[in-house]
Structure 1
C-alpha cells in the first residue's frame, strides 16, 4: 500500500509539474507576443499626432494629489472609464480587471476579496485589507469590512494600493482600497437615472443627483437591486442611499460629510460536492435549503471631515466616522445575531518646505468597535433556544509620520513609519458567565521606505520595502465553532518590490510592471470542522513571489474618416508563486504546498471600440489557471476562460444624454466556480457560477 501511495504521490507531483510548466510556457508566449506587437506598433506611434491620449492619472490616497507615473508605490485606478464597460450592478468584473486583485462571489452578494494574497481568512466579508470611503473608515476596528453593502453603480472611482500600507493606513498585510463615491471632477449640476434588467430575475435601478451652488455642492445616490440568483436559495435584495454634502466655506477651509444607509438581504446556497455539482449545478446544499440559510445586514454610516489650509505650507485634516450594523445570519448550525457599533477618528498635519520639494505628514488614527453576538438554535429558519451570548470590544490605533522628498527633480524618496496598537475585550453571558477579559497585542512598528527615479520624462523605476501586520478579526477570535480563540496570533512580514512605469508616445501607451516578494509569518488560515463550523489557526508562514503587469494603449487614434473611430487595448497579467514555507496541522505537513485559493496565473484582456460616432463596443477575455482548494493540494478547481461583451448606443436627444446598453457575460458558457469553499469538510468546495447570462438597460443624464 505504501508503494502504491508513493507512486500516486510521484504521479501527482509529475502532473503538477507538467501543468505548471505548460502554464508558464503559455504565459511566456503570451508576454512575448504582447511585447513584440507593441514594440513594432509603438515605433510607428512616435510619428503620429493625435488626440487619442491617456489622461495623466493623479492619486489622491497619498495625501496631496500625486502623479501616478513618479509615485513610488504600486497603485491601480478603477475609474469611470472602466466601470462604464461592466455591468452597473457588481464591482467584481471591474476590480478583477486589475492585476493583483482577486474578487470572488460565491452567490450574489457574498463577496470575498484579496490583494496579493490568500482568501483563506475570509469565508465571507473582507479581511486583511483596509477600506476607506473618501476620508471615512469602512473597515471596523475588529478588521472586518462589509463591501457588499455598497452599490456598484454609486461608485465613481476606486484606488487600489497593493502591498502592505501600514505605515500610513494602519494594520493590514494585503493592501488598501480607497473608494471615492462622489463625482468631484465635474463642476456642473446634473441628474442621472439608470435601469438594468437581466437574466435570473435581475433588476438594478440607480438615481444620482448633483447640484452645485457657489460654495456648496450635494451628491445624492439612491439604488435598488434584486435578483433570483442562478442557484436555488441565492436571491438578493439591496436598498441603498448615500448623501455627500461638500462645503467650501472659505478659500482655505472646507467641510465634507457622508450619510450612508444600506439594507441588504441575500440567501446562501452553500457549497456542493463534485457529485452534487455534476448532478445539478443550480442546486443548493440540502441543509441550506432546510435551514433557510441567508444573511440580513442593515448598516448606517455617517462621517464628517474638515480640511483647513492654516498657511501656505501648513494644512490640517480631521475626520470622524461612526457606524451601526444589525446583522442576522441563520446558518446550518445556528441562528446568529450581531449588534455592531463603531466610531473612529483620523487626523493629520501636512507641512511643505522649500519650493514644495518635500512634504511631511504626521497624524493619528484611532477606532473602537463593540460587538454583541447571540447565537440560537436554527429551527428551519426560526430562532430556537439560545446557544451562546458574548460581548466583544476591539480597539485599534496608530500614530504615523510620512515624509516625501525630491532632492533632485528626477528623484522621489519616501519614508514612513507608524506605531500600531490593537486589543480586544471579551466577556460571556451564556451558557455560563465569564468575567471581562482582555488581550493586548504587542505594539508594532511598521516602516516603509520607497524611491522612484525618472529615467526619462516618460519612464520611471521604483523600489520599496515595507512591513505588513494584521491581527485576527473579531470573527476569527470568535468563529462559528463558538470557542473564543485567544491563542491566535497576528500575521506579519516584510514586502520587497521593484517596478517600472512607462507613459509614452504622446500619452498613447501606459505600462506598469512590478515584481514583489512577501514573506509572511504566522499567516492566518481558516479550517472547517466535521460539524461545518469554522475555526482559525496560524499556518507558520508563506513565501509569496509575484509579478504584475498592467498595459493600456490606443491602437487606433481618433479619426473621423474611419469606421472605427478609436480602439483602446487593456491587458493585466498576474503571476503568483505563493507557497506555505512552514505549515503543519493535525499531524500533516503542508510545507512547500501552493497557497490555497490562489491561481498561479490570471490574464485579463479587453478591446474597446468607438464606431459610427455613437456606438461603443467592448469585449473582454479573462483566463484563470487552476487553483488548490485545500491545504494538502489534493483537490484543484479547473482553469477557466470567461468572455464578456457589451454594446452601448448614444441616443440623440436635445440637450440631454441617453445611452442604451446591452451585454452578455460568460459568452462561452463556461462551467466554473467564481467562489470556492476552501478546506471544506466533506468535499463541499464548489459554488457554481451562472452560465451564459444577459443584461440590458438605459441611462439618462439631464
Structure 2
C-alpha cells in the first residue's frame, strides 16, 4: 500500500513538473511595435505579477499550461490572453486607450524618449493621420505639421522646407536628412526625394525640426524619419486597393503580409497614373517595397528592407503671372514643345541587426545600397545621370549611472560613399515635326566620387526626478573627387576637394513643472555642405573658396497634457541664425552659381494642439490645430551690388493655420481639414508676393467587416472644396530671358474629387 501511494505521488509530481515551465515574452504597442515598460503582467492561475522592463520583457519561473495572463497599464486597454503551450516567441500587443501624442516614444532619436520629454520640437504623422488625404502623393501630408511647408508643383515636383531652410532651393529638396527604417534617403550631396513612397505602407513619420547635425550630420533644416508597418503576431493577409480621382488619376496596389513564429514578411506593390491638371503633365510611377524581420533565439533582431521605383513624369514647368491668372492649365511653351519629362529607376537595399549584449547595452548596425539611373529631356539640354552609393551606420546604447544619476549614453558612426556620373546632350526638339525631344551631341560628362563620415555621441541624464539633460556632439568630414571627362579647351574641372571638418554640438534641458507638463530649452548647431553644382563658376571651374553653410538654433518650448490626458498642447519659439548663407544665383536658363552671400535669421512661433475623446455607442471625436508664424529675414545680404539686408526670405508663407476635425461613429469616419497660408515673397528684392490662400478638404472612410476573413473599406473625398486659385509652388528669383516675363508660379489643382475601395483578406 505504501509503495502504491509513493508511486502515485511520484506520478503527480512528474505531471506537475512537466506542466510547470519557465515562460518568457514581451509586450509591445500594437501600432508602433515599440516595447512597453511598466506593464503589469499577472498569471491568473497563480496570482503572481511583475512589471515589464524597458525592453518590454517579462519572465515567470514556473507556469502551468494552459496559462492565462492579464496585461494592464494605465494608458492602454487591458488584455487577457491564453497560451496553450510555450512558444519560441511570445509577444503581446496592447492598444492605447486614447492615443496620447505626448506619450509616444520617438524611435528616430539616438536615445528613444517620449515626445513630451524630448528638449526639441518633433512633428509626428501617425498612421491615422496618413488617412486624411487621397494618398496619391505622400508629401502632401507634411503640410499639416507646424513649421513644415511643401511646395507642390506636380506629383513629381515637390520641395520641402523646415522652418524656412531649403525654401530657396530651385526645384528639389535639400538641406534635410531623411531615413526609412534607419536607411539614409538623402544623397551624399544633400538632395532628397520622398515622392516614391506609398503612404499606405508606412506606420509613422517623425520630423525633427531645426538643425540636428549632432545626430545626423549635414542637415541644417532637420530630419525626416519614415517607418514601415511591422505586422502583428499570426497576421497573414492579402490587401488590394483601387483609388480614382479627377484628371484621370488612379492608383492600384496590393499588399501581402505573412507572420510565422519569429519571421515577419511584408510586400507592397502600387502604381499611380495621372493625365495631370496641366498640359504635359502625365505621370506614371510603379513602386515595390518589401521588408522582413527575424528574431533569433537570443532575442536579437534582423531586419531587411528594399524599394524599387520606376518613374516617368512629364514636366509642365512654371508660368508667368499672366498665364497663371488666365490660363493655369497650360504648360510653359518650350517645355511643352520639347515634351520635357524626367524618368528614373531607383533601388534601395538595407540590412540591419539589433544585438542585445545585456539589458543595459544594445547595438544597432545597418548597411545599405542605393542606386538611381535617370534621364531628363529639357528644352535647354538633356540630362543623363547615374548615381550609386553604399554605406553603413552603427550605434551603441548604454544604460548606466553617471555621478549617481540615471543616464544613457549613445555613440556611433555613419559613413557613405557615393559614385555619381552626370552628362548633358543637346536637345534638338525644334527639329522635330511632332512634339518630342531629340538627343544631339554631347555637351558635358562629369564623374564625382563623394564621401562623408559622421561620428556622433549623445548623453541623456536624469539630474533630478523632474529634470532631464541632453548633450550631443557630431564630427563630420566631407570630401569629393571630380573628374571632367569631357574637358573643353583650357577648362578642366577635375580635382580632389574637401570641406573643413565640422563639429556640431547640441545641449538641451527638459523640466516637468507639473504632472504631465514640461518646459524645455535647447541650443543646437547644424550645417549643409555645397553641392557640386553650387561649387562651379560660370567658366566651369571649381570655386574652392565656397564655405559650408552653418547655423545655430535657439529654442524654448512647452509640452503638456490637460483634461485627463485628452488634450495635448505644444508651443515653441525658436531662432535659427544662419551664417555663410548659400545662395543659388541664376545666370542662365539652367545655370546657377553658388555664393556665400551673408547671414539670415529664421525666427518663428509654432503651436500644436490635439484633443481626442470617445463617447458611448462607439463615437469618437478628434480635434487638432497646427499653426506657425514666420519671421524669416536676411540679416546681412549683399549680392552683385544689391543690398537685400532686412528683406523677407522668399519661398515661405508668412503663416500657416490648420484646424481640423475627425468624427467617427462605429465604422464611419469623417475628416474635415482647413488650411490657411500667408503670402510668399517671390524674390530676394521682395518686389512681388503671392496671394494668401485657403484650402478646405474632406475625406470619408467606411469600414465594413464582411466576416471573419474579409474586411472592406470605402473612401470618398473632395480636395479644395472652395475651388481656390492659388500658387502651390514658386520658383524663387526667376529671371525672364529674351524679353519674356519671369515664370514664378506653379498653379495648384482646382476642386477635385476622389474615391476608392480596399479589400483585406485574412488567410
| TM-score, with structure 1 as normaliser | 0.89
Shift of 1:680: 0.7
Is the Cα–Cα contact under 8 Å of residues 241 and 254 in structure 2 kept in the other structure? yes
In structure 2, the partner of 1:369 is 418
Larger Rg: 2
| Distance in 2 (alpha carbons) for counterparts of 1:434 and 1:224 | 43
Which of 353, 370, 376 is equivalent to 1:329? Answer: 376
Shift of 1:201: 1.1
Pairing 1:50-199 to 2, within 5 Å after superposition: 54=100, 56-183=103-230, 188-199=235-246
Is the Cα–Cα contact under 8 Å of residues 328 and 335 in structure 1 kept in the other structure? yes
| Distance in 2 (alpha carbons) for counterparts of 1:479 and 1:84 | 46
| Distance in 2 (alpha carbons) for counterparts of 1:52 and 1:157 | 17
Residue 547 (str. 1) matches residue 601 (str. 2): no
Q: Deviations over 1:475-502 (max 9, x none)?
A: 4345999665544321101110001101
| Distance in 2 (alpha carbons) for counterparts of 1:299 and 1:352 | 39
Give the match's secondary structure for 1:156: strand
Shift of 1:558: 1.9
Is the Cα–Cα contact under 8 Å of residues 352 and 366 in structure 2 kept in the other structure? yes
Pairing 1:40-55 to 2, within 5 Å after superposition: 54=100
Shift of 1:69: 1.3
| Distance in 2 (alpha carbons) for counterparts of 1:483 and 1:152 | 42
Is the Cα–Cα contact under 8 Å of residues 695 and 724 in structure 2 kept in the other structure? yes
In structure 1, the partner of 2:475 is 419
Shift of 1:438: 1.4
Is the Cα–Cα contact under 8 Å of residues 237 and 265 in structure 1 kept in the other structure? yes
| Distance in 2 (alpha carbons) for counterparts of 1:678 and 1:622 | 22
Q: 1:53 to 1:343 in 2, by over 3 A?
A: closer
In structure 2, the partner of 1:653 is 706
In structure 2, the partner of 1:451 is 509
| Distance in 2 (alpha carbons) for counterparts of 1:531 and 1:502 | 50
Shift of 1:185: 6.2
| Distance in 1 (alpha carbons) for counterparts of 2:565 and 2:471 | 30
In structure 2, the partner of 1:538 is 596
Q: 1:614 to 1:159 in 2, by over 3 A?
A: same
In structure 1, the partner of 2:748 is 689
Residue 279 (str. 1) matches residue 333 (str. 2): no
Which of 420, 445, 448 is equivalent to 1:389? Answer: 445
Is the Cα–Cα contact under 8 Å of residues 121 and 127 in structure 1 kept in the other structure? no
Q: 1:186 to 1:368 in 2, by over 3 A?
A: same
Q: 1:479 to 1:546 in 2, by over 3 A?
A: farther
Could you tell me which runs of 5 or more consecutive residues in structure 1 were left unpaired when the two chains were aligned. 1-49
Is the Cα–Cα contact under 8 Å of residues 527 and 680 in structure 1 kept in the other structure? no
| Distance in 2 (alpha carbons) for counterparts of 1:481 and 1:299 | 32
Q: Which moved more, 1:358-367 or 1:532-541?
A: 532-541
Give the match's secondary structure for 1:149: coil
Shift of 1:652: 3.8
In structure 1, the partner of 2:684 is 631
In structure 2, the partner of 1:622 is 675
Q: Which moved more, 1:118-127 or 1:75-84?
A: 118-127
In structure 1, the partner of 2:565 is 507
Q: Deviations over 1:554-590 (max 9, x none)?
A: 2x632229xxx22211110111100001111122111
| Distance in 1 (alpha carbons) for counterparts of 2:610 and 2:112 | 22
| Distance in 2 (alpha carbons) for counterparts of 1:187 and 1:58 | 25
| Distance in 1 (alpha carbons) for counterparts of 2:544 and 2:653 | 32
Shift of 1:53: 5.5
Q: Deviations over 1:270-290 (max 9, x none)?
A: 111111223311000001011
Q: Which moved more, 1:162-171 or 1:646-655?
A: 646-655
Which of 546, 557, 568 is equivalent to 2:614? Answer: 557
In structure 2, the partner of 1:36 is none
Shift of 1:122: 2.5
Give the match's secondary structure for 2:195: helix
Q: Which has the higher contact order (CA 8 A, sep 6+)?
A: 1
Could you tell me which runs of 5 or more consecutive residues in structure 2 were left unpaired when the two chains were aligned. 1-95, 430-436, 737-741
RMSD across aligned positions (CA): 2.0
| Number of equivalenced pairs | 648
| Distance in 2 (alpha carbons) for counterparts of 1:641 and 1:237 | 29
| Distance in 2 (alpha carbons) for counterparts of 1:383 and 1:497 | 52
| Distance in 1 (alpha carbons) for counterparts of 2:192 and 2:605 | 27
| Distance in 1 (alpha carbons) for counterparts of 2:705 and 2:352 | 41
Residue 595 (str. 1) matches residue 649 (str. 2): yes
In structure 2, the partner of 1:21 is none
Is the Cα–Cα contact under 8 Å of residues 413 and 452 in structure 1 kept in the other structure? yes
Residue 229 (str. 1) matches residue 276 (str. 2): yes
| TM-score, with structure 2 as normaliser | 0.82
Residue 208 (str. 1) matches residue 255 (str. 2): yes
Pairing 1:401-440 to 2, within 5 Å after superposition: 401-432=457-488, 434=492, 436-440=494-498
In structure 2, the partner of 1:246 is 293
